[in-house]
């Protein structure tokens, strides 16, 4: 039999209404060499609608992935549908889809059937306390945002002084830590000069006015590269401004640097190398918010903004000994930030204290018409509020199990017992396959970077291991759509069970990586705060975490703040940077 020709293929496809000439040419080029010999006279209507690429043998092999066992008659019946689907897939792939375009499916962390009752919150307040300018610039560099704010407000320090200080430290220590992608000195000095003029004129904007900060380099800033840590995107300059950047600009904060992240928000390897832990520089700083963690710990910025999908704030906060706040999903707009997973991505502050995190969060929260998942919800941060109204629990099974940081976690729990509120034991749902739901992230991330996979530009990424993104993206192409939807249905059950946990408590303490708490709470969208809870014999930090109810960051940060006042671990800084 003669082989199907381009002319016959185009003629048949046009007759059945499939695509235009450009699309058909592209489809032919994709299929050429793989279309089995078929005679023109023997084509059925189904075969006319799509070239026969999928065969019975392919379906048999794919059944194992789909969890099916079919008969030959059933396989033969599917062939036409699957070959027509190939045409649909190719049509869809021909549509340009920038990373910022979301799917027409919106995740909400509020469980179905639950009405979230959020009391009206009082006005946010930031504590003002007597602060004197320290004797050395090194001491100044490690002061908290709240302390720096008072120095700026009282005009003991100018925004220009702070900006020069942090830019100098970024230039001096940034290369060794490999934590800086791009410095922004022109923008920073312009902002600092404006801040000093405003403050001198009595137009003080609040506690972030004049405070230099660093952005994880997945936040778009016009005029500067937004590299996503990826060699495939290292020359990318976006015209947009991330919503978080806009809001910090409005608060008077000063952007001094775009900081490293593991390529496409995984790990601490980026196209320039591996970001280092300032406590132990032969060790990576963990990821993916590697640069924000290292720079904040080493006193190179006043604070930083990181992001988390599955541990990317918790893990580098642990490794670098900083305090990282992962807000409730939808609390902070993701507009202008790289998308990895539409239903799991979250942006949050990485600072030197819980009080700082609460202060920064106040400036960046709120609804945004450009991000349909971003919502307005009461906040009401007040560091002077008593803890008596807050119900606190502890994740009993996670503390009971034998694990590497058990002695530190037990000490952290003992400190929590000194806060003056009873601790109630709580448990995560134990009857749901938590790890299995990770395919949600795998499928969404593969879709977000589908063009990178299909163009083979994934070869440009530094990491090419079985656990790295290129292999993950390719593997995710074989996740059945039905299983992705089923995983999200199980996720609904998880959200309902987690809501029951928070019927009993407002906040609970847990080992940062205890049980499945990290995956579970990222899937449900609950907020967390991670803080140093001690140091190993090597001198490296360990951490503890608190988890809060949905939109309950004010309670969460208050409990964490009081715990830090009791323990003081957050006041230690790595040697060599002081």
DSSP 512: T
CA-based radius of gyration for the chain: 26
* Angle between helix 354-364 and 243-250 (nearest 10): 100
- The answer to whether 554 and 114 have CB atoms below 8 angstroms apart is no
Q: Give the H/E segment covering residue 542.
A: strand 541-548
Contact indicator for 305, 330 with CB cutoff of 8 Å:
no
CA 500 to chain centre: 26
DSSP character string of 158-214: -HHHHHHHHHHHHHHHHHHHT-EEEE-HHHHHHHHHHHHHHHHTT----TTTT-EEE
Distance CA 235, CA 34 (A): 36
Catalytically annotated residue among 144, 230, 285, 288:
288
For 215, list phi and psi in degrees, rounded to 5.
-110, 130
85 is catalytic: no
Task: Report the C-alpha gap between 121 and 119 in whole angstroms.
Answer: 6
Nearest to 313 by CA among 547, 113, 473, 492: 547
Specify whether the backbone of 79 is left (phi greater than 0), alpha (psi in -120 to 50) or beta.
Answer: alpha
Is there a catalytic annotation at residue 88? no
Task: Please indicate whether residue 288 is annotated as part of the active site.
Answer: yes
The catalytically annotated residue of 230, 312, 445, 543 is 312
List of long-range contacts for 433-438, beta carbons under 8 Å, 24+ apart:
433/490, 434/494, 434/516, 434/519, 434/520, 434/523, 435/516, 435/519, 436/487, 436/490, 437/487, 437/490, 437/491, 437/494, 437/519, 437/523, 438/310, 438/519
Tokens of 554: 């004010």
Provide the 10 A C-beta neighbour count for residue 479. 16
Bridge partners, 303 (sequence order): 213
Q: What is the DSSP string of 1-15?
A: -PPPPHHHHHHHHHH
Alpha carbon distance 486, 287 (integer Å)? 29
Reduced to 3 states (helix: H, G, I; strand: E, B; else coil), residue 276 is strand
Tokens of 134: 């320290």
Q: Are 327 and 348 in contact (CB under 8 A)?
A: yes
* Cβ contacts of 246 within 8 Å, gap of 6 or more: none
DSSP-derived secondary structure letter, 272:
T
Strand pairing of 254-259 and 180-183? antiparallel
DSSP 366: S
* Cα–Cα nearest to 384, from 161, 207, 574, 122: 122
CA–CA dist 492, 278 (Å, integer): 40
Q: Which of 216, 234, 258, 346 is catalytic?
A: 216
Bridge partner residues of 371 (DSSP): 368
- d(C-alpha 115, C-alpha 332), whole Å: 21
Catalytic residue numbers, as ranges: 216, 288, 312
């Amino acid at each position: 039999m003669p082989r199907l020709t381009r002319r016959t293929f185009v003629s048949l496809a046009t007759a059945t209404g499939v695509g235009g000439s450009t699309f058909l040419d592209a489809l032919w080029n994709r299929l050429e060499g793989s279309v089995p010999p078929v005679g023109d006279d023997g084509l059925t209507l189904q075969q006319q609608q799509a070239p026969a690429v999928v065969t019975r043998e392919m379906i048999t092999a794919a059944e194992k992935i789909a969890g099916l066992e079919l008969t030959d008659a059933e396989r033969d019946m599917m062939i036409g549908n699957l070959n027509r689907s190939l045409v649909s897939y190719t049509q869809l792939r021909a549509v340009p889809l920038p990373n910022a375009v979301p799917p027409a499916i919106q995740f909400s962390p509020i469980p179905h059937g639950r009405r979230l009752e959020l009391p009206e919150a009082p006005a946010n307040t930031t504590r003002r306390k007597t602060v004197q300018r320290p004797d050395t610039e090194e001491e100044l560099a490690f002061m908290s945002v709240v302390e720096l704010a008072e120095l700026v407000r009282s005009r003991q320090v100018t925004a220009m002084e702070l900006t020069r200080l942090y830019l100098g430290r970024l230039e001096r220590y940034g290369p060794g830590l490999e934590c800086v992608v791009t410095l922004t000195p022109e923008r920073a000095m312009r902002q600092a000069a404006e801040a000093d003029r405003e403050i001198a004129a009595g137009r003080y904007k609040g506690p972030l006015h004049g405070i230099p900060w660093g952005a994880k380099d997945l936040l778009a800033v016009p005029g500067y590269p937004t590299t996503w840590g990826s060699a495939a995107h290292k020359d990318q300059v976006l015209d947009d401004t991330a919503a978080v950047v806009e809001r910090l600009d409005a608060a008077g904060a000063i952007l001094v640097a775009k900081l490293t992240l593991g390529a496409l928000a995984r790990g601490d390897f980026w196209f320039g190398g591996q970001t280092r832990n300032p406590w132990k520089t032969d060790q990576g700083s963990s990821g993916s918010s590697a640069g924000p963690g290292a720079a904040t710990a080493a006193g190179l910025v006043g604070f930083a903004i990181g992001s988390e999908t599955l541990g990317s704030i918790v893990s580098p906060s642990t490794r670098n000994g900083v305090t990282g706040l992962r807000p409730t999903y939808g609390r902070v707009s993701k507009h202008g930030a790289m998308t990895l997973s539409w239903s799991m991505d979250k942006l949050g502050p990485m600072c030197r204290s819980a009080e700082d995190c609460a202060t920064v969060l106040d400036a960046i929260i709120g609804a945004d018409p450009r991000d349909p998942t971003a919502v307005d919800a009461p906040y009401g941060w007040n560091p002077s509020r008593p803890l008596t109204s807050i119900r606190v629990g502890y994740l009993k099974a996670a503390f009971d199990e034998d694990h590497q940081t058990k002695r530190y976690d037990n000490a952290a729990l003992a400190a929590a017992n000194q806060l003056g509120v009873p601790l109630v034991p709580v448990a995560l749902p134990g009857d749901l396959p938590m790890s299995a739901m990770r395919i949600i992230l795998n499928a969404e991330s593969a879709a977000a970077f589908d063009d990178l996979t299909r163009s083979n530009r994934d070869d440009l990424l530094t990491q090419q291991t079985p656990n790295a993104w290129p292999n993950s993206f390719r593997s995710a192409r074989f996740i059945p759509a039905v299983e992705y939807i089923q995983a999200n249905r199980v996720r609904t059950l998880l959200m309902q069970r987690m809501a029951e946990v928070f019927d009993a408590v407002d906040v609970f303490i847990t080992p940062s990586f205890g049980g499945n708490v990290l995956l579970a709470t990222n899937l449900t969208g609950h907020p967390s705060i991670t803080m140093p809870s001690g140091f190993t014999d090597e001198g490296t930090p360990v951490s503890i975490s608190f988890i809060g109810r949905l939109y309950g960051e004010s309670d969460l940060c208050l409990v964490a703040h009081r715990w830090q006042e009791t323990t003081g671990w957050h006041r230690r800084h790595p040697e060599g940077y002081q």
